[in-house]
Amino acid sequence: MMLTRRTFPGFAALFSFPLAWVLLLLIVPYGIMISVSFWTRQFPLFYPDFQFGNYALIFSDPQYTTVILRTLKIALIVTVCALLLGYPLAYFLVFTIRSAALRNALYMLVIVPLWVSYLLRAYTWKIILGTDGALNSLLVSTGIVDAPLDIFLYNQTAMVITLVYIFVPFMVMPLFTVLDNIPQRLIEASEDLGVGPFMTFWKVIFPLSLGGVIAGATMTFCLSFGDFVAPVLVGGPDGTMVANLLQTQFGAALNWPLGSALATLVLALVLVLLQISTRLDRAGHIDLA
């Protein structure tokens, strides 16, 4: 029997709720943010206007361009490091661990940190890298250094370490799913044809796992790019990122038009990145049927 609105009158109301949610909590706020980015600020008030002064200031002032470029660099480094750590880990779990129960248990250990407070995980690295932290205690106790060093904390290296630790699970999850779904018969066929393990990985496994690589890299990059807690805790003066600028503009500086312009640029960058990842995923899609 064909389902019609008349047959199920509640369907329209049921599906209208998600649409209303998207409209009220996503489209309307983003629309307001974009419109405010063209406003004029005359402290302490903002005036509706249509001018590109906020965007011109962002691209002409080295203070902002330096932070944007630094954020892009750190997010890219974090993504590459997370991929270099996450891919071997996912590969080990899928192809080395034979016991399904043990594999699932180890996989749960990888993603369990996601259930712990983000702030707590970031503070953990502040404790490890601090002057009185675990790393300095180890170096002093083993006689490698005579006194605690202050070079481990409040720099970009500390930020990269902290962000990689926090976001590696977001890289492992899609990679684990993709690798686990690669048909075993394809790997066995490659081995039957006399292809070595490395070429089997390079010609069979890696191309089929590109979807997971793209998904994990996209999530890791976007999360790293928008992070603002790690720069505050372990970044120091040279670790300011775009999210910290946004916090300042919407808070202490009370310059919402400029903050909205920055947020609009971040949104545009994320949308472009998502579009690129979608195209790459479609281009690398391989039908396994």
Positions of the chain with pLDDT lower than 70, given as ranges? 1-14, 284-289
Specify the amino acid at residue 21. Answer: W
Give the Cα separation of 54 and 36 in Å (integer): 10
* Per-residue pLDDT at 289: 47
* Per-residue pLDDT at 94: 94
* Per-residue pLDDT at 109: 92
Question: Using omega within 30 degrees of 0 as the cis cutoff, is the peptide bond preceding 44 cis?
Answer: yes
* Per-residue pLDDT at 5: 53
What is the per-residue pLDDT across 121-165, written as a single tens digit (0 to 9) for each? 888 888 898 888 888 888 888 888 888 887 888 888 999 999 999
What is residue 183's three-state secondary structure?
coil
260: nearest Cα among 21, 5, 57, 22: 57
pTM of the entire predicted model: 0.86
Question: The tokens of 285 are what?
Answer: 């899609």
Q: Identify whether the C-beta of residue 160 lies closer than 8 Å to the C-beta of residue 75.
A: no
Q: Identify whether the C-beta of residue 36 lies closer than 8 Å to the C-beta of residue 263.
A: no
3-state percent breakdown (helix, strand, coil) of the chain, nearest 5: 75, 0, 25
* Per-residue pLDDT at 119: 86
